[in-house]
Amino acid sequence: MQIQLSRLVARSLGCFAFSIAVCLSAGAQTIAITGGKVFPVSGPPIDGGTVILTNGRVAAVGANVAIPADAQRIDATGKWVTPGFINSSTQLGVIEVSQVNATRDMSARGKDNIAAAFTVWDGLNPNSVMLAPARKEGITTIVVMPSGGLVSGQAALLSLVPGTTTDMIIRAPVAMVAEIGDASSAGVSSRGELLVKLRELLEDTRFFQTRRAAYERAETRDFAASRLDLQAMIPVIEGTLPLIIAVDRASDIDAALRLAREYNLKIIIGGGAEAWMVADRLAAARVPVLTGAMNNIPGGFSALGQRQENAGLLRRAGVNVSLIGNGPGDPEAFNVRNLKQEAGNAVAYGMTWDDALRAVTLAPAEAFGVSDRVGSLQTGRDANVVIWSGDPFELSSRAERVFIRGREYPEMTRQDMLTERYKTLPNTHNMPVAR
């Protein structure tokens, strides 16, 4: 009896809680998704296209693709087939219940508001109940961001594949995060002083990098940051690790661009409420922007020019734009899946549909240097594929089938369980289930 039950659970939950061998064998299966309207993103849409998934990778995409005899065929006629979406700025997995401190793992105290050594993914909970709803609704890749302070720490790009954090990591670190929009949270008095502090960190990192031996002999002056923070900043000043600068005001974005030029940094603008005002400069500097499309409130003196056309205007100017959700905030981790709504609104406010799809798939993959792994349906890419009932951005459309690395995980989310439990209510105050 006990054995039978566990078999049943194993079958219904998928393999993630069980042996890796089971996972691998399941992933080795070949799947052919046929007849759908296929959006590879890296190329033009294919009506009635076929997508072949083998060994967790995309094996072929096209209109006339030979289907291996042993393939499991999935008829997607009338459906839309896209790469899995990438939410490129979230705190999914590092916040479970934002008002319960014990479940908040997105920030580090650091030293004097500098926490460059903080690796946010080490605190990620792959068993968070928030992951399944995101996965189920078509998000297959995320960038988990640290937040707070001047230098918040390091972000990671993760697959939402069920398993351990180790299984999930695609690139970690994928970027360093700094917040330069608010002097008080950086522990200084003004914008200019904030940049002084950031410059001091960059200078110290340079110095630390070249005088390492002297540092170890305790023959250097004191540094603004700790040893581990300086160490973590080295790839940033080498230009190999992007620095995400979270910033809204146009003048602050301009200052970030000056800083990047001065130190040869590879930067990405995060938030960027007023980025549209400096769109040409961002395009010329080839600086990607991560921004939403549902913000239009002059909600602070740093974001007076915030508007929903931001993403579309940036794209039109030639900026690589990735769409992100409503940013760190109360229901953010609950609603990672609402990325599609951002994309739809971006279209309503001037972005082309194709660019909006790109902004939730290939654009972030390129911005983070992982387009060889995710973000498009091309041979060799991870087999992250979503079959949608219709236009994925429409609120009435559903992600009917979601494949991550070639596998489906048809799990019940906690929300599904609650909905099922309370769908039929008894005539008393008793619980609807007797057990």
Burial 182-209 (b: 16+ CB within 10 A, else e): bbebbebeebeebbebbeebbebbbbbe
The answer to whether the Cα torsion of 14, 141, 45, 71 is positive or negative is negative
Judged by CB under 8 A, the residue of 6, 72, 210, 419 near other proteins is: 419
Judged by CB under 8 A, the stretch of 8-16, 26-34, 149-157, 331-339 that binds other proteins is 331-339
Cβ 112 to other proteins shortest distance, Å: 25
CA angle, corner 94, sides to 55 and 252, nearest 5?
105
Contact flag: residue 78 with other proteins (CB under 8 A): no
Q: 98 vs 185, which CB is nearer to other proteins?
A: 98
Q: Using CB under 8 A, which residues numbered 230 to 259 contact other proteins?
A: none
> Side by side, which strands form the sheet with 169-179?
85-90, 139-144, 151-159, 169-179, 243-247, 267-271, 289-291, 321-323
Phi, psi of 146, deg, nearest 5: -80, 160
Q: How many CB atoms lie within 10 A of CB 333?
A: 24
Contact flag: residue 430 with other proteins (CB under 8 A): no
Question: How many whole angstroms separate alpha carbon 180 and alpha carbon 248?
Answer: 9
Size of the site for other proteins (CB under 8 A): 48
Contact flag: residue 362 with other proteins (CB under 8 A): no
Residues 6+ positions from 110 with CB-CB distance below 8 Å: 116, 117, 118, 149, 151, 153, 226, 229
Residues 6+ positions from 251 with CB-CB distance below 8 Å: none
Contact flag: residue 158 with other proteins (CB under 8 A): no
Q: Using CB under 8 A, which residues numbered 386 to 405 contact other proteins?
A: 393-398
Contact flag: residue 300 with other proteins (CB under 8 A): yes
Q: Using CB under 8 A, which residues numbered 122 to 141 contact other proteins?
A: 130
Q: Please say whether the beta carbons of 255 and 248 come within 8 A.
A: no
Judged by CB under 8 A, the residue of 92, 333, 359, 360 near other proteins is: 333
Contact flag: residue 283 with other proteins (CB under 8 A): no
Contact flag: residue 322 with other proteins (CB under 8 A): no
Judged by CB under 8 A, the stretch of 9-17, 48-56, 225-233, 329-337 that binds other proteins is 329-337
Cβ 35 to other proteins shortest distance, Å: 23
* CB half-sphere exposure, 3, CA atoms < 13 A: 0
Q: Please say whether the beta carbons of 149 and 110 come within 8 A.
A: yes
Q: 220 vs 415, which CB is nearer to other proteins?
A: 415
Please report, as ranges, the residues that interact with other proteins according to CB under 8 A: 96-100, 130, 277, 294-301, 303-305, 307, 309, 313, 326, 330-331, 333-335, 338, 341, 344-345, 347-348, 350, 393-398, 415, 418-419, 422-423, 425, 427, 429
